[in-house]
Chain A
Amino acid sequence: MIAADEVRIATGRVVSLAVARGEGLVLAGASGAGKSLLLRRLADLDPGAGRLTLDGRDCAAISAPDYRRRVALVPAEPAFWRPSLRDHAPDADFEAVGLDGARPAAPVTSLSSGERMRGAIALAVARNPQVLLLDEPTGPLDPRATGVIEALLLRLTAAGTAVILTSHDPEQPRRLGFRLLSLP
C-alpha cells in the first residue's frame, strides 16, 4: 500500500520500507535515530530525495492535500486550530479512544497531553485514511488508555488500514502483533 524507496531524511539516513493494506509496523530506535522524521517524510511533510508511493502511484502524482487525507500523521505533540476537539470534527468517534462525556467539547487548552493525543488520533481516524502514521501514540498514556488505543489500532488493521507507529515500548510490537523495524 505505502512504500518508501530509498527516502533520505534530515538526519542523512536513507530508508526503504513497504507496508501492505491491513499491516502494522512499529518503528523503534534510540532518540535521534530519525523515527519522527521518517514519519514526516512518509506524510510528505518534509522534502527529500527518494520515492514515496501509495497503492503503486508516485505520491507526486497525487495532490498533496489529497495524499495527506489518505496518509494521516498524528504527531507526538498534536496541535489544534479550533476551540475544542468536537469543533474539528463533530462526527468523530471520541469514545473509541476512551474520551467520553464532555471532554471532546472542552477547550483543547484544558486537556491533558494524553487527552490531546487521544483526541488527535480520533480526528485522524475520522478522516478514514488508508495509512495511519502515529508518532509515540501511547507515550503520554496510562496503561488503561494504552490498551484502548492498541485495541483501536488492531480494529483498524483488521479493517484494512495500514498502521505505522513509533514506540519506545519494547513489548508493544509483540502485544500488537506488528512487524518491527529498528532504526540503528
Chain B
Amino acid sequence: MTPDLTPFDIAAASALLFLGAGLSLVLSLHVGRGLLVAGARMVVQLVVLATLLGLIFAAANVWVTLGAMAAMAVFAGFEVLARQDAPAGRRWTVAVGAGVMIGAGWVVVLPALALLIEARPWYAPQVALPVFGMVAGSSMTGIALALDTFSTAIRRDVRIVEARLLAGHTRGEALSDPVRQAIRTGLMPTINAMSAIGLVTIPGMMTGQILAGADVMQAAKYQMVLMFLIAGTSVLGVVGAVHAMARRMTDHRHRLRLDRLRTGE
C-alpha cells in the first residue's frame, strides 16, 4: 500500500527542482525559470485534476463519466490542432480529433470496461477515466502525427495527386499513397511503444498497480489489456481521422482542395 504523503514530503521532493534551477543559474543555462514555472503549473494542474476527479468519483453517474470522457477528448482535439503545421481548418481539426477519439475510444474502451476489466458498475469513474485518459493520450499522438504527415504529403506530392486525378482516378485512388503513408506514420508510436515496453522502464499503469500493492503478474496482465486497447483505439482513430481529412481535402468533383489548408497561422 502507498503511504499518505504529507505537504512536507512534497515540499522536500520539490527541493530537487530548486536544485535544478540553482544549477541553471550557476551554469548560465537559462532554464531555471522554465523549470520553476513548469513545476508550479504541474502542481496547480494536478490539484485541479484531483479536485475534479474527486467530484466526478463522488457523483458516480454514467452521464457525468461519459461527459468527462468527452471533455478529455475535446482537450485532446485542441492538442491535435496545436501539433499541425497546416491544419485543414481549426474548428474542423479539433472536431475531427475529438470526434474520432470519442468514437474510437468508446467503441474500444466501454466494452473493455464492462467485459474485460469488469468494472462494477461498468462506468465506475475510478476505472473508466484513467483507462480512457491513457488510451486517448496515446491515440492523440498518433492522430496528430498522421494528420500532419498527410498534409505534408499532399502539399509535397500535389502534382502527382493531380496527375492521377487527371488520368481519371477517383479521389480515393489519387490519395491512396499519402493516406497509406500517414496511417503508417500515425501508428508508429503505438508499434514502438508495444515493441519497447518493459525493456527500459516499467510502464505507467503497471507501476501504479505495483505501488498500490498489486501482484506483479496481475499488474502485467492489466498493462497488456491497456496496450491492446491503446492499439485498437489508435488504429481506429488514425484510420478514421486520415480518411476524414482525405475527404476534407477534396470535393465532390474529385478535386484536390489545398485552399482548405490553413498555413502560416
> Using a CB–CB distance below 8 Å, which chain A residues touch chain B?
43-47, 60, 64-66, 68-69, 72-73, 75, 77-81, 88, 123, 127
Cβ-defined contact, A79 with B251, below 8 A? no
B178 CB to closest chain A CB, in angstroms? 11
| B-side interface size class | 10 to 19
Cβ-defined contact, A81 with B166, below 8 A? no
Cβ-defined contact, A127 with B159, below 8 A? no
- Interface SS of B by simple majority: loop
- Tell me, in angstroms, the Cα distance from A75 to B169 when the chains sit together: 16
Cβ-defined contact, A44 with B163, below 8 A? no
Contacts A65-B170, A68-B165, A73-B166 given; indicate if A81 touches B160 (C-beta within 8 A): yes
- Residues on the B chain within 8 Å of A60, using CB: 253
- Tell me, in angstroms, the Cα distance from A66 to B170 when the chains sit together: 9
Is residue B255 contacting chain A, with contact meaning CB distance below 8 A? Answer: yes
Is residue B89 contacting chain A, with contact meaning CB distance below 8 A? Answer: no
Contacts A65-B169, A68-B168 given; indicate if A44 touches B255 (C-beta within 8 A): yes
Q: Which 6 A-B pairs have the closest CB atoms?
A: A79-B159, A69-B168, A64-B254, A79-B163, A64-B253, A65-B168
- Tell me, in angstroms, the Cα distance from A69 to B177 when the chains sit together: 21
Cβ-defined contact, A46 with B255, below 8 A? yes
- Residues on the B chain within 8 Å of A68, using CB: 165-168, 254
- Tell me, in angstroms, the Cα distance from A5 to B165 when the chains sit together: 23
Q: Mark B184-211, 1 if CB is under 8 A from A, else 0.
A: 0000000000000000000000000000
